[in-house]
Chains A and B, each alone.
Chain A
Amino acid sequence: MKKCQYADQIDDYLLNRLEGAAKEQFEEHYFNCPDCFQAMEERDALISTIQSRGAWIFKQKPAAERRDWVPAWKRAVSSFTPRQWATVGAAALVFFFVVFGVLPRFQGQSPQFVLSDNEVVRGESLTLISPVIDVKSVPSTFEWQQLGEDVEYKIFVYNSELLWSASTKDTRIVVPEEVKSHMVAGQKYSWQVKAFSAKGALVAASSKVQFQISAGS
């Protein structure tokens, strides 16, 4: 269907942008052209609705949009242009190159941790050998498993408080007579060994083991 030459003036007429002879000509035309009149009525309804309800139409989010919630990342991804996709790809390549290619070459030395007396090393363990159960007489030696070369061991013997402490590079230590004289039958004792590196850093600590000297000894 051929478009009427006056059809382009509908908006201008309805928006009061036609004046004088042009306006009269257009009005006379729509009195004679049912198609233009129909189109004008339809456009008038659209313009009236927009002008009376524009604030609501253009400032509120549509109800359907609110219902169909889409996660922010999905909206961002769907709105990416090919150029943005290319940028994301390049950034990912740089990231993987830095993480797996460059950073491993600049890895520094592992940090050294120093434990306090109350802390226990959960890596290497120091195992106590004797005494670990009740004994019939006052023990003359304490013995434990070797941990490694150039390790200094420090032994702690407790009753209710620290009774004796000594250091050695050996894996056993002889109890001095004066200490033995303080250890009596029927009393409970506990002992622990801590291992130190050549630089004096604590590298392992045993658990505290309790033993009792039999009352009949």
Chain B
Amino acid sequence: MEFLSRACAGGAGIDYFLQQLVNGVTLGAIYGLIAIGYTMVYGIIGMINFAHGDIYMIGAFISLVGFLLMSALGITSVPIAIAGVLLFAMIFTAVYGWTVERVAYRPLRGAPRLAPLISAIGVSIVLQNYVQLAQGARVKPLQPMVQGGFTFSPGGEFHVTISILQIMIVLLTLSLMAGFTYLIQKTPLGRAQRATEQDRTMAALLGVDVDRTISATFVIGASLAAVAGLMVTLYYGVIDFYLGFVAGIKAFTAAVLGGIGSLPGAMLGGLLIGLIEAFWSGYCSIAYKDVAVFGVLVLVLIFRPTGLLGRPEVEKV
């Protein structure tokens, strides 16, 4: 097989390894943020929100519009611009997330299990084509906004670069995840979410507004996806309307890898997917990086069918 014969040239030193590690962690942070949206929705209503990848793509587009708007408004300070765009993208993407749930999923609550999935695939097609029609099919570039970084070379033969942007992405992800964990563990909304997840009917009987809680889940998921969209816009500098599909699949893979329904699992899964992709691209072949990602997923699921941190399902007879 051709793709095995040219696989995996080793031999590069520790610096090269560290560089891939840095890249992988950055990528993993982005996947982790998207994966949270999948895992939360799956946990609470048990459906694969297939359109979530496209919500992330919408987040990236709204961020791009936001950046251009900022420069049109004459805001030149990069930190202020990024903070402004972050808010802008989170709010407007959240509206998309809310609307998708309200229009396409809520009427199907309690319908056969595959109905919302098909509806979600339909939404995904609609969103992709909507953005393509509204903004054109061409790839959209953005001038690099955050430059600079730190270079060091512990192994001596190759420079490891950690850019400020990468540090920013990882820090932002970490703080969002901390805030998010707090939200789920300590606030009334988080309690309502966990209650709805365990038993929707019982939660409703005890006074939890189930519809509102589920809406809130979609809003949170979409705003986290918007952050991921913003980061990917800054990090890669190019976006297109098809961006959501592959990223969505990988993020869902991350959620499944970590154990779907588990929040730490989503983060861990995202990190692992990012690392696998970076190392495979760095050491083996870029063309087959997606194959590697899915290969690892299959392997993990064969040995741990409920993912790394997922609780085994107990089936009552």
Chain A bound to chain B:
no
Interface residues of B (CB under 8 A from A): none
Interface residues of A (CB under 8 A from B): none
